[in-house]
Structure 1
Amino acid sequence: MNTTTSTPAPALTTDERTDLLETLAKHRQFLRLTTRDLTDEQAGQRTTVSELCLGGLIKHVTSVERGWVDFILNGPSAMGDFTAMTEEDWARRADEFRMLPGETLADVLAAYAETANRTAEVVAALPDLGASHPLPKAPWFEADTRWSARRTLLHIIAETAQHAGHADIIRESLDGAKTMG
Protein backbone atom coordinates (compact mmCIF):
# COMPACT_ATOMS: atom_id res chain seq x y z
CA MET A 1 0.00 0.00 0.00
CA ASN A 2 1.33 3.43 -0.94
CA THR A 3 1.21 5.76 2.05
CA THR A 4 2.89 8.74 0.46
CA THR A 5 0.81 11.80 -0.09
CA SER A 6 1.44 14.25 -2.83
CA THR A 7 1.48 17.90 -2.08
CA PRO A 8 -0.43 19.92 -4.64
CA ALA A 9 1.64 22.38 -6.58
CA PRO A 10 1.19 25.93 -5.36
CA ALA A 11 -1.18 27.98 -7.48
CA LEU A 12 0.59 30.48 -9.67
CA THR A 13 -0.97 33.82 -9.02
CA THR A 14 0.00 37.32 -9.86
CA ASP A 15 -1.33 40.61 -8.72
CA GLU A 16 -3.57 42.81 -10.81
CA ARG A 17 -0.85 45.30 -11.75
CA THR A 18 1.38 42.52 -13.02
CA ASP A 19 -1.48 41.05 -15.06
CA LEU A 20 -2.33 44.41 -16.62
CA LEU A 21 1.28 45.25 -17.46
CA GLU A 22 2.02 41.77 -18.83
CA THR A 23 -1.05 41.92 -21.07
CA LEU A 24 -0.03 45.34 -22.31
CA ALA A 25 3.54 44.11 -22.92
CA LYS A 26 2.23 41.16 -24.97
CA HIS A 27 0.25 43.46 -27.28
CA ARG A 28 3.14 45.92 -27.52
CA GLN A 29 5.35 43.04 -28.64
CA PHE A 30 2.85 42.09 -31.38
CA LEU A 31 2.87 45.71 -32.56
CA ARG A 32 6.67 46.03 -32.51
CA LEU A 33 7.03 42.69 -34.28
CA THR A 34 5.25 44.08 -37.33
CA THR A 35 8.27 46.31 -37.97
CA ARG A 36 10.94 43.59 -37.87
CA ASP A 37 13.52 43.86 -40.66
CA LEU A 38 11.94 46.98 -42.20
CA THR A 39 13.70 50.05 -43.51
CA ASP A 40 12.61 53.54 -42.48
CA GLU A 41 11.03 53.94 -45.90
CA GLN A 42 9.00 50.74 -45.53
CA ALA A 43 7.90 51.74 -42.01
CA GLY A 44 6.48 54.93 -43.52
CA GLN A 45 4.80 53.29 -46.50
CA ARG A 46 1.01 53.23 -46.77
CA THR A 47 -0.36 49.92 -48.02
CA THR A 48 -4.08 50.64 -47.76
CA VAL A 49 -6.31 53.59 -48.66
CA SER A 50 -5.97 54.94 -45.12
CA GLU A 51 -3.19 57.24 -43.92
CA LEU A 52 -1.84 54.49 -41.66
CA CYS A 53 1.69 53.18 -41.87
CA LEU A 54 3.57 50.99 -39.40
CA GLY A 55 5.81 53.73 -38.03
CA GLY A 56 2.83 56.05 -37.73
CA LEU A 57 0.78 53.48 -35.85
CA ILE A 58 3.58 53.07 -33.32
CA LYS A 59 3.87 56.86 -33.01
CA HIS A 60 0.12 57.07 -32.43
CA VAL A 61 0.05 54.29 -29.82
CA THR A 62 3.02 55.93 -28.07
CA SER A 63 1.21 59.26 -27.96
CA VAL A 64 -2.04 57.69 -26.79
CA GLU A 65 -0.33 55.73 -24.02
CA ARG A 66 1.63 58.77 -22.90
CA GLY A 67 -1.54 60.88 -22.83
CA TRP A 68 -3.58 58.37 -20.87
CA VAL A 69 -0.80 57.84 -18.31
CA ASP A 70 -0.70 61.63 -17.90
CA PHE A 71 -4.48 61.43 -17.36
CA ILE A 72 -4.00 58.81 -14.63
CA LEU A 73 -1.56 61.15 -12.90
CA ASN A 74 -3.16 64.54 -13.52
CA GLY A 75 -6.74 64.09 -14.63
CA PRO A 76 -8.42 65.62 -17.69
CA SER A 77 -6.25 68.75 -17.72
CA ALA A 78 -3.40 66.55 -19.00
CA MET A 79 -5.32 65.89 -22.21
CA GLY A 80 -7.06 69.16 -22.95
CA ASP A 81 -10.53 69.91 -24.23
CA PHE A 82 -11.10 68.05 -27.48
CA THR A 83 -14.28 70.03 -28.15
CA ALA A 84 -12.17 73.20 -28.50
CA MET A 85 -9.69 71.79 -31.03
CA THR A 86 -9.31 73.63 -34.33
CA GLU A 87 -8.71 72.19 -37.80
CA GLU A 88 -5.04 73.08 -37.35
CA ASP A 89 -4.93 71.14 -34.04
CA TRP A 90 -6.46 68.09 -35.73
CA ALA A 91 -4.00 68.37 -38.62
CA ARG A 92 -1.08 68.35 -36.17
CA ARG A 93 -2.50 65.29 -34.44
CA ALA A 94 -2.77 63.57 -37.83
CA ASP A 95 1.03 63.76 -38.11
CA GLU A 96 1.31 61.09 -35.43
CA PHE A 97 -0.13 58.58 -37.94
CA ARG A 98 2.71 58.99 -40.44
CA MET A 99 6.46 58.94 -40.55
CA LEU A 100 7.61 62.49 -41.11
CA PRO A 101 10.82 63.50 -42.93
CA GLY A 102 13.80 62.84 -40.69
CA GLU A 103 12.00 60.34 -38.44
CA THR A 104 13.49 56.88 -38.19
CA LEU A 105 11.93 53.60 -37.20
CA ALA A 106 14.66 53.17 -34.58
CA ASP A 107 13.72 56.50 -32.98
CA VAL A 108 9.99 55.68 -33.08
CA LEU A 109 10.62 52.32 -31.41
CA ALA A 110 12.92 53.90 -28.81
CA ALA A 111 10.24 56.46 -27.90
CA TYR A 112 7.73 53.62 -27.56
CA ALA A 113 10.07 51.69 -25.25
CA GLU A 114 10.63 54.82 -23.17
CA THR A 115 6.87 55.30 -22.85
CA ALA A 116 6.43 51.64 -21.88
CA ASN A 117 9.04 52.00 -19.12
CA ARG A 118 7.35 55.13 -17.81
CA THR A 119 3.96 53.39 -17.77
CA ALA A 120 5.38 50.49 -15.76
CA GLU A 121 6.95 52.89 -13.25
CA VAL A 122 3.73 54.88 -12.86
CA VAL A 123 1.56 51.78 -12.45
CA ALA A 124 3.96 50.32 -9.87
CA ALA A 125 3.84 53.53 -7.84
CA LEU A 126 0.07 54.09 -7.93
CA PRO A 127 -1.41 53.88 -4.45
CA ASP A 128 -4.81 52.75 -5.78
CA LEU A 129 -5.88 51.45 -9.20
CA GLY A 130 -9.41 52.51 -8.31
CA ALA A 131 -8.57 56.22 -8.08
CA SER A 132 -10.49 58.04 -10.80
CA HIS A 133 -10.78 61.29 -12.72
CA PRO A 134 -13.52 62.73 -14.91
CA LEU A 135 -12.86 62.14 -18.60
CA PRO A 136 -11.73 65.12 -20.68
CA LYS A 137 -14.35 66.94 -22.73
CA ALA A 138 -14.75 65.18 -26.06
CA PRO A 139 -17.70 64.39 -28.30
CA TRP A 140 -16.95 60.67 -28.01
CA PHE A 141 -17.14 60.58 -24.19
CA GLU A 142 -20.38 60.64 -22.26
CA ALA A 143 -20.55 63.72 -20.04
CA ASP A 144 -19.77 63.28 -16.35
CA THR A 145 -18.03 59.93 -16.84
CA ARG A 146 -15.07 59.00 -14.68
CA TRP A 147 -12.36 56.46 -15.39
CA SER A 148 -10.24 54.80 -12.77
CA ALA A 149 -6.57 54.11 -13.33
CA ARG A 150 -7.59 50.48 -13.85
CA ARG A 151 -10.15 51.39 -16.53
CA THR A 152 -7.64 53.68 -18.21
CA LEU A 153 -5.03 50.90 -18.34
CA LEU A 154 -7.64 48.59 -19.88
CA HIS A 155 -8.27 51.28 -22.51
CA ILE A 156 -4.52 51.49 -23.27
CA ILE A 157 -4.42 47.70 -23.64
CA ALA A 158 -7.44 47.72 -25.97
CA GLU A 159 -6.00 50.54 -28.08
CA THR A 160 -2.66 48.75 -28.37
CA ALA A 161 -4.27 45.43 -29.29
CA GLN A 162 -6.53 47.06 -31.89
CA HIS A 163 -3.62 48.83 -33.55
CA ALA A 164 -1.45 45.70 -33.43
CA GLY A 165 -4.14 44.09 -35.59
CA HIS A 166 -4.11 47.07 -37.96
CA ALA A 167 -0.33 46.85 -38.13
CA ASP A 168 -0.48 43.15 -38.97
CA ILE A 169 -2.73 43.91 -41.97
CA ILE A 170 -0.43 46.72 -43.12
CA ARG A 171 2.65 44.50 -42.83
CA GLU A 172 1.02 41.64 -44.69
CA SER A 173 0.00 44.07 -47.45
CA LEU A 174 3.54 45.47 -47.53
CA ASP A 175 5.50 42.28 -48.08
CA GLY A 176 3.40 39.26 -47.09
CA ALA A 177 4.98 38.90 -43.64
CA LYS A 178 2.60 37.98 -40.82
CA THR A 179 2.94 38.77 -37.16
CA MET A 180 0.14 36.66 -35.80
CA GLY A 181 -0.81 33.28 -37.24
Structure 2
Amino acid sequence: MTVNEPVTQERATQEQAEAPAVTGERADLLETLAKHRHFLRLTTRDLTDEQAGLRTTASELCLGGLIKHVTSVERNWVAFILNGPSAMGDFTAMTEDDWARRADEFRMLPGETLAGVLAEYADVAARTDDLVAALPDLDAAWPLPKAPWFESDARWSARRTLLHVIAETAQHAGHADIIRESLDGSKSMG
Protein backbone atom coordinates (compact mmCIF):
# COMPACT_ATOMS: atom_id res chain seq x y z
CA MET A 1 0.00 0.00 0.00
CA THR A 2 1.29 3.46 -0.86
CA VAL A 3 0.64 6.56 1.22
CA ASN A 4 -1.81 7.97 -1.33
CA GLU A 5 -3.64 4.73 -2.02
CA PRO A 6 -7.35 5.24 -1.32
CA VAL A 7 -9.04 3.14 1.32
CA THR A 8 -11.60 1.00 -0.46
CA GLN A 9 -14.39 -0.91 1.23
CA GLU A 10 -12.78 -4.13 -0.02
CA ARG A 11 -9.40 -3.25 1.50
CA ALA A 12 -10.99 -2.11 4.78
CA THR A 13 -12.93 -5.37 5.02
CA GLN A 14 -9.76 -7.36 4.29
CA GLU A 15 -7.79 -5.47 6.96
CA GLN A 16 -10.57 -6.03 9.48
CA ALA A 17 -10.56 -9.75 8.71
CA GLU A 18 -6.78 -9.88 9.16
CA ALA A 19 -6.75 -7.90 12.42
CA PRO A 20 -6.74 -9.96 15.59
CA ALA A 21 -10.00 -9.84 17.53
CA VAL A 22 -10.03 -7.45 20.46
CA THR A 23 -11.10 -9.26 23.62
CA GLY A 24 -11.22 -8.85 27.38
CA GLU A 25 -10.66 -5.47 28.97
CA ARG A 26 -9.85 -3.77 25.66
CA ALA A 27 -13.09 -5.01 24.13
CA ASP A 28 -14.99 -3.73 27.17
CA LEU A 29 -13.36 -0.31 26.95
CA LEU A 30 -14.04 -0.03 23.21
CA GLU A 31 -17.62 -1.26 23.54
CA THR A 32 -18.36 1.27 26.28
CA LEU A 33 -16.77 4.10 24.31
CA ALA A 34 -18.68 3.06 21.16
CA LYS A 35 -21.98 3.12 23.07
CA HIS A 36 -21.43 6.68 24.30
CA ARG A 37 -20.18 7.84 20.89
CA HIS A 38 -23.38 6.42 19.40
CA PHE A 39 -25.59 8.35 21.82
CA LEU A 40 -23.66 11.57 21.14
CA ARG A 41 -23.99 11.16 17.35
CA LEU A 42 -27.64 10.16 17.70
CA THR A 43 -28.50 13.61 19.03
CA THR A 44 -27.66 15.07 15.61
CA ARG A 45 -29.92 12.79 13.55
CA ASP A 46 -31.92 14.56 10.86
CA LEU A 47 -30.51 18.00 11.67
CA THR A 48 -29.41 20.70 9.27
CA ASP A 49 -26.04 22.42 9.61
CA GLU A 50 -27.85 25.47 10.96
CA GLN A 51 -29.68 23.46 13.61
CA ALA A 52 -26.43 21.76 14.66
CA GLY A 53 -25.00 25.21 15.37
CA LEU A 54 -27.93 26.56 17.41
CA ARG A 55 -27.72 27.28 21.11
CA THR A 56 -30.99 26.07 22.61
CA THR A 57 -30.26 26.52 26.32
CA ALA A 58 -28.63 29.15 28.52
CA SER A 59 -25.35 27.34 27.81
CA GLU A 60 -22.93 28.38 25.07
CA LEU A 61 -23.05 24.79 23.77
CA CYS A 62 -24.49 23.55 20.47
CA LEU A 63 -24.64 20.01 19.11
CA GLY A 64 -22.05 20.46 16.37
CA GLY A 65 -19.73 22.20 18.82
CA LEU A 66 -20.05 19.40 21.35
CA ILE A 67 -19.05 16.85 18.73
CA LYS A 68 -16.10 19.05 17.70
CA HIS A 69 -15.05 19.30 21.35
CA VAL A 70 -15.31 15.56 22.01
CA THR A 71 -13.34 14.93 18.81
CA SER A 72 -10.59 17.24 20.02
CA VAL A 73 -10.60 15.74 23.50
CA GLU A 74 -10.28 12.21 22.14
CA ARG A 75 -7.57 13.22 19.64
CA ASN A 76 -5.54 14.99 22.35
CA TRP A 77 -5.79 12.21 24.92
CA VAL A 78 -4.76 9.61 22.33
CA ALA A 79 -1.75 11.80 21.56
CA PHE A 80 -1.06 11.85 25.32
CA ILE A 81 -1.18 8.04 25.47
CA LEU A 82 1.37 7.88 22.65
CA ASN A 83 3.65 10.81 23.45
CA GLY A 84 3.01 11.99 26.99
CA PRO A 85 2.21 15.47 28.27
CA SER A 86 4.20 17.29 25.59
CA ALA A 87 1.52 16.22 23.09
CA MET A 88 -1.03 18.37 24.91
CA GLY A 89 1.05 21.37 25.83
CA ASP A 90 1.19 23.47 28.98
CA PHE A 91 -2.28 24.79 29.77
CA THR A 92 -0.82 27.21 32.31
CA ALA A 93 1.03 29.01 29.49
CA MET A 94 -1.96 29.45 27.17
CA THR A 95 -2.57 32.93 25.77
CA GLU A 96 -5.91 34.65 25.17
CA ASP A 97 -5.65 33.61 21.51
CA ASP A 98 -5.09 29.99 22.56
CA TRP A 99 -8.20 30.11 24.76
CA ALA A 100 -10.21 31.72 21.93
CA ARG A 101 -9.19 28.92 19.56
CA ARG A 102 -10.17 26.39 22.18
CA ALA A 103 -13.56 28.10 22.61
CA ASP A 104 -14.13 27.62 18.86
CA GLU A 105 -14.27 23.87 19.56
CA PHE A 106 -17.65 24.44 21.18
CA ARG A 107 -19.40 26.08 18.22
CA MET A 108 -20.00 25.56 14.54
CA LEU A 109 -17.88 28.04 12.62
CA PRO A 110 -18.76 29.51 9.22
CA GLY A 111 -18.17 26.92 6.51
CA GLU A 112 -18.32 23.94 8.87
CA THR A 113 -20.93 21.29 8.22
CA LEU A 114 -22.46 18.70 10.46
CA ALA A 115 -21.41 16.01 7.98
CA GLY A 116 -17.81 17.25 8.14
CA VAL A 117 -17.80 17.37 11.94
CA LEU A 118 -19.23 13.85 12.15
CA ALA A 119 -16.72 12.55 9.58
CA GLU A 120 -13.80 13.98 11.56
CA TYR A 121 -15.21 12.38 14.73
CA ALA A 122 -15.44 9.01 12.94
CA ASP A 123 -11.81 9.31 11.78
CA VAL A 124 -10.58 10.10 15.29
CA ALA A 125 -12.69 7.28 16.74
CA ALA A 126 -11.22 4.78 14.28
CA ARG A 127 -7.67 5.85 15.19
CA THR A 128 -8.48 5.50 18.89
CA ASP A 129 -9.96 2.05 18.38
CA ASP A 130 -6.89 0.96 16.41
CA LEU A 131 -4.60 2.27 19.14
CA VAL A 132 -6.48 0.50 21.94
CA ALA A 133 -6.31 -2.76 20.01
CA ALA A 134 -2.56 -2.39 19.42
CA LEU A 135 -1.29 -0.90 22.69
CA PRO A 136 1.30 -3.19 24.22
CA ASP A 137 0.48 -2.14 27.79
CA LEU A 138 -2.60 -0.40 29.24
CA ASP A 139 -0.58 0.27 32.41
CA ALA A 140 2.00 2.47 30.66
CA ALA A 141 1.71 5.89 32.31
CA TRP A 142 2.76 9.50 31.78
CA PRO A 143 2.66 12.52 34.08
CA LEU A 144 -0.35 14.72 33.36
CA PRO A 145 0.21 17.98 31.48
CA LYS A 146 0.42 21.16 33.52
CA ALA A 147 -3.07 22.53 34.05
CA PRO A 148 -4.83 24.18 36.99
CA TRP A 149 -7.48 21.45 36.95
CA PHE A 150 -5.04 18.52 37.34
CA GLU A 151 -3.39 17.61 40.61
CA SER A 152 0.34 18.17 40.37
CA ASP A 153 2.58 15.14 39.99
CA ALA A 154 -0.32 12.87 38.97
CA ARG A 155 0.28 10.17 36.37
CA TRP A 156 -2.33 8.52 34.18
CA SER A 157 -2.01 5.14 32.58
CA ALA A 158 -3.37 4.46 29.11
CA ARG A 159 -6.27 2.69 30.84
CA ARG A 160 -7.04 5.70 33.07
CA THR A 161 -6.81 8.01 30.07
CA LEU A 162 -9.26 5.86 28.09
CA LEU A 163 -11.65 5.87 31.06
CA HIS A 164 -11.41 9.67 31.04
CA VAL A 165 -12.27 9.77 27.33
CA ILE A 166 -15.27 7.51 28.01
CA ALA A 167 -16.42 9.76 30.88
CA GLU A 168 -16.05 12.92 28.76
CA THR A 169 -17.97 11.34 25.90
CA ALA A 170 -20.78 10.16 28.19
CA GLN A 171 -21.03 13.53 29.94
CA HIS A 172 -21.22 15.41 26.67
CA ALA A 173 -23.74 12.94 25.22
CA GLY A 174 -25.97 13.91 28.14
CA HIS A 175 -25.44 17.60 27.42
CA ALA A 176 -26.24 16.95 23.76
CA ASP A 177 -29.47 15.15 24.66
CA ILE A 178 -30.67 18.19 26.62
CA ILE A 179 -29.72 20.55 23.80
CA ARG A 180 -31.53 18.39 21.23
CA GLU A 181 -34.64 18.09 23.39
CA SER A 182 -34.65 21.88 23.78
CA LEU A 183 -34.30 22.24 19.99
CA ASP A 184 -37.24 20.14 18.85
CA GLY A 185 -38.34 17.77 21.61
CA SER A 186 -36.40 14.78 20.27
CA LYS A 187 -34.73 12.51 22.79
CA SER A 188 -32.04 9.86 22.49
CA MET A 189 -33.80 7.67 25.02
CA GLY A 190 -37.20 7.68 26.71
1:79-98 aligned within 5 A: 79-98=88-107
Using structure 2 for the length normalisation, give the TM-score. 0.88
Number of aligned pairs? 168
CA distance in 2, matches of 1:55, 1:89: 20
Q: Which one of the candidate residues 114, 117, 128 is aligned to 2:126?
A: 117
- Check if 1:151 corresponds to 2:160: yes
CA distance in 2, matches of 1:90, 1:70: 20
CA distance in 2, matches of 1:118, 1:46: 30
Which residue of 1 is the match for residue 115 of structure 2?
A: 106
Gaps of 5+ in 1: 1-13
Cα offset, 1:150, TM superposition: 0.1
CA distance in 1, matches of 2:89, 2:189: 36
Which residue of 1 is the match for residue 18 of structure 2?
A: none
Gaps of 5+ in 2: 1-22
| AA in 1 matched with 2:129 | A
Partner of 2:84, secondary structure, is helix
Cα offset, 1:86, TM superposition: 1.1
Which residue of 2 is the match for residue 174 of structure 1?
A: 183
Moved over 3 A (4+): none
CA distance in 2, matches of 1:109, 1:88: 26
- Check if 1:36 corresponds to 2:49: no
Q: Which one of the candidate residues 54, 64, 81 is aligned to 1:55?
A: 64
CA distance in 2, matches of 1:52, 1:74: 30
| AA in 2 matched with 1:174 | L
Looking at CA atoms only, which structure, 1 or 2, has the larger radius of gyration? 1
- C-alpha distance after superposition, 1:111-165 (max 9, x if no partner): 0000000001111111000000000000000110000000000000000000000
